Amino acid sequence: MRVRKRFPTMQSLVDAKILQDHELKILERKSNTEKYSTPINWACGLVMEMKHEKAIASDTLVNAIFKVAFCVVRAYLAICVLARQYVVEKPEDPIPTQGVAIFAVTLMTSLQVFFYLAWIKVAEELLNPLGEDDDDLECNYIIDHNFSIAFQLADTHYREKPSQKRDDFDSIVVPLYSEHTAGNPEKGYRGSASTLNLTKSRFIKTQMIPRENYTPSHMPTQFIPHFEEIPPRLKRRLTHPISFRRRHERPKFIILFF
């Protein structure tokens, strides 16, 4: 709605130097279909012209992205199912739980397989939403609409591109608004750390020193007390995996969840 208020008419686009007069005359021709695709047709025509002039070297790979994503997800799940299995570390040693069945259940991997495959199937259905359900697209309306747009592009706008003229943005760099919306306040986007001041004083110049092989003697005198106050970094103790061989009493069934 704010954009519509900013450009209430097609003439306002011309006044804002976004649209030119000869382009507006093309858009104002009478037609029974929508004209939203006409600028897209102009852009596609310019792209094809640049392609014939060897200004564009290669084509896009948008269609291959979906196939690669589906194959990568299925390959990842297959690798996880095989790689995250319970493995005996030393099979040559005598197993103290001889005669006891050990069931290793890959719970988290099973959940990943279930949810990932479910999301992939939903994505595949969204790429091809054809059917009789209420959530599917109205295909007959889309076919009729696309037919009318295609005939309009092929018969009316074929090889019809507005001549490229120099616009007024060479000297005007400030975007224009309508007089009713120019006074409305707009909150611009600003980063969360844009107003953060990391220096104690703007008059102190930051000294840059190498990270490795240095001592406080290499540092300026005003930074040595602060450097000595920093405590040494402590390493976290490594945890040990659970081993069932240390237990004397063995249950009949052992179920592992990992």
Instruction: Decide if 208 is inside a domain.
Output: no
The C-alpha atoms of residue 10 and residue 220 are separated, in whole angstroms, by 64
The pTM of this model reads: 0.34
Instruction: Decide if 130 is inside a domain.
Output: yes
CA angle 190, 193, 195 (to 5 degrees): 75
| Neighbouring residues of 135: CB distance < 8 A, sequence distance ≥ 6 | 129
Domain encompassing residue 46: 2-182+252-257
Q: Which amino acid is at 219?
A: M
Instruction: Decide if 224 is inside a domain.
Output: no
65-114 residue pLDDT tens: 778 888 888 888 888 878 877 666 665 655 555 544 455 566 777 888 88
189-227 residue pLDDT tens: 666 665 666 556 555 555 555 656 555 555 555 554 444
Residue 242's CB: how many other CB atoms inside 10 A? 8
Instruction: Decide if 11 is inside a domain.
Output: yes
Instruction: Decide if 235 is inside a domain.
Output: no
Instruction: Decide if 199 is inside a domain.
Output: no
Main-chain dihedrals φ then ψ at residue 105, nearest 5 degrees: -105, 115
DSSP conformation letters of 188-251: ----TTTT---SS-TTSPPPP--SSS--GGGS-GGGHHHHHTSPPPPPPPPP----GGG-SS--
Instruction: Decide if 80 is inside a domain.
Output: yes
Instruction: Decide if 101 is inside a domain.
Output: yes
Q: Which DSSP state fits 175? A: P
153-167 residue pLDDT tens: 777 766 767 777 777
Q: What is the number of structural domains in the chain?
A: 1
Please check the confidence at residue 62 and state whether its pLDDT lies above 50.
yes
